[in-house]
Amino acid sequence: MKNSETQTTSRRDFLKTTAPAIALSALAGAIGSRAWAAGNDLIQVALIGCGGRGSGAAKNALDTKTGPVKLVAMADAYEHRMKASFESLSKKFPDNKDKMDVPEDRRFIGFDAYKKAIDCLKKGDVAIFATPLAFRGVHFKYAIEKGVNVFMEKPLTADGPTSKRMLLLGEEATAKNLKVGVGLMSRHAKNLVELHDRIQNGELGEIIAMRGYRMSGPVGHFNTLPKPKGISELDYQVQKFHALLWAGGGAFSDFYIHIIDHLCWMKNAWPIKAQGVGGRNYRSAGNGVRYVDQNFDSYAIEYTYPDGSKMFFDGRCMAGAENMYSSYVHGTKGLAIASRNKDCDGPSAIFKGQNDDPKNLVWESNDKTSAYQNEWDELIDAIRNDKPYNEVKRGVEASVATSMGRMAAHIGQTVTFDQMLNCDHEFAPGLETLTKDSPAPVTPDADGMYPQPEPGLKKREY
């Protein structure tokens, strides 16, 4: 990690701050200029990254009610994901050309497919980025160049250099009056919005501690086996992005960011430092085969805020262990349940004292709207009515706060916000030039094992 004052960005400063081508050009040119304030102009959408989350975001976009929205292009590096997503969305919007019109010549495959999909859009349309996070900055830069609004899934970054670049891109988007949503949907969960307002109004008193848990059996690509034959190393790593820090920030960044983000929101502050522990307990798949991913099975992180108060986060992916997936805020006047289940599900509640005894219930939310839909309703409303809307800054801040906890556990040292932001270890530089024939960003050993965190021995995460 760099310590030179001339190279360090402070936390304070950070917080301030051919035929197909012809066809695509014709499609974009046919859209014409926008008059979003009219509220009824067509907004066209391109989906880049056709996994489950991308398909869900596309559906949410098409389900908005303030005017016509149509999916016109799709892109993914892999055909099987494209096919599955297209079939799924087609079933949700059967024979509805007003919602979904993506003929085969506007379904693009490859690492450069994002450009072709964005080129189908006109200024004022929306690109959805739901690829592994490693590609977020590359895709966002191109969208800004094209004057296209963006919805980006979380996390936005996993290391210091990409965090700094992403913040600058966010400022560039604001300068161009582009609207940018970030998929930290907890901020749009109305139960949490009301709880946040009540906490800020003093109903919980001073916040003295917070707790968050995401503990379940292995999910996603958390446990990854050695690469089989018949697939390139690069393709394997991209498709198993939960397994690798460069591709997805590992399980910690991808799974845990929601609860870390919304607890920081309840506090209206980002932590200044983190210390933590973690370990690999059960890393055998049996028959002498080991899991090769870079994840720890368990994490326990203590975050410290500027006023000295703490937030404790526990994460675990172990089959058969107790499941806990919730978050809590302790104040001088009582206890609040923020998320009762999953990343942001209610009902949120406030209790007298520090126990969630129903007899001490003071308030409970009753909203049942979808946070995923709410975030899209707000983004489309901002586009149509030209409201300021850019969630990049807090998306990067949440990503840095999450990464500092991960890094603290992985290196066995206290890590400050400043150190995480200014750490010069960029996991995968040069992704803007990546092709199917490029070497993979990390190299496994002879047994297929990817470089592992070794707390106390390595100064970097791997």
Residues 136 and 255 grouped into a single domain: no
Tens digit of pLDDT for each residue in 377-436? 999 999 999 999 999 999 999 999 999 999 999 999 999 999 999 999 999 999 999 999
Residue 447 lies in a domain: no
Residues 208 and 326 grouped into a single domain: yes
Q: How far apart are CA 123 and CA 113, in angstroms?
A: 19
Residue 458 lies in a domain: no
Q: Last residue of a domain, which of 391, 425, 453? A: 391
Residues 324 and 385 grouped into a single domain: no
**Domain containing residue 260:** 189-369+400-433
Is the pTM here over 0.85, yes or no?
yes
Residue 453 lies in a domain: no
Task: Assess whether the previous peptide bond of 155 is cis (omega < 30° from 0).
Answer: yes
Residue 448 lies in a domain: no
According to the model, what pLDDT value does residue 23 have?
Answer: 43
Residues 125 and 113 grouped into a single domain: yes
Residue 438 lies in a domain: no
Residues 9 and 144 grouped into a single domain: yes
Residue 451 lies in a domain: no
Tens digit of pLDDT for each residue in 127-186? 999 999 999 999 999 999 999 999 999 999 999 999 999 999 999 999 999 999 999 999
CATH of residue 323: 3.30.360.10
Residues 75 and 224 grouped into a single domain: no
Please give the C-alpha separations between residue 250 and each of 107, 237, 305, in angstroms, as whole numbers: 29, 11, 24
Residue 68 lies in a domain: yes
Q: Total structural domains in the chain?
A: 2
Residues 313 and 334 grouped into a single domain: yes
Cβ atoms within 10 Å of 21's Cβ, excluding its own: 10
Residues 316 and 380 grouped into a single domain: no
Q: How far apart are CA 261 and CA 343, in angstroms?
A: 10
Nearest 5°: phi and psi at 227? Answer: -60, 130
pLDDT along the chain (462 residues), means of 10: 42 48 42 40 97 98 97 98 97 93 98 98 98 98 98 98 98 98 98 98 98 94 93 98 97 97 98 97 84 96 98 96 98 98 97 97 97 98 98 98 98 98 97 96 96 96 97
Residues 245 and 356 grouped into a single domain: yes
Residue 288 lies in a domain: yes
Residues 152 and 209 grouped into a single domain: no
Quote the mean pLDDT of the chain: 92
Residues 250 and 356 grouped into a single domain: yes
Residues 108 and 240 grouped into a single domain: no
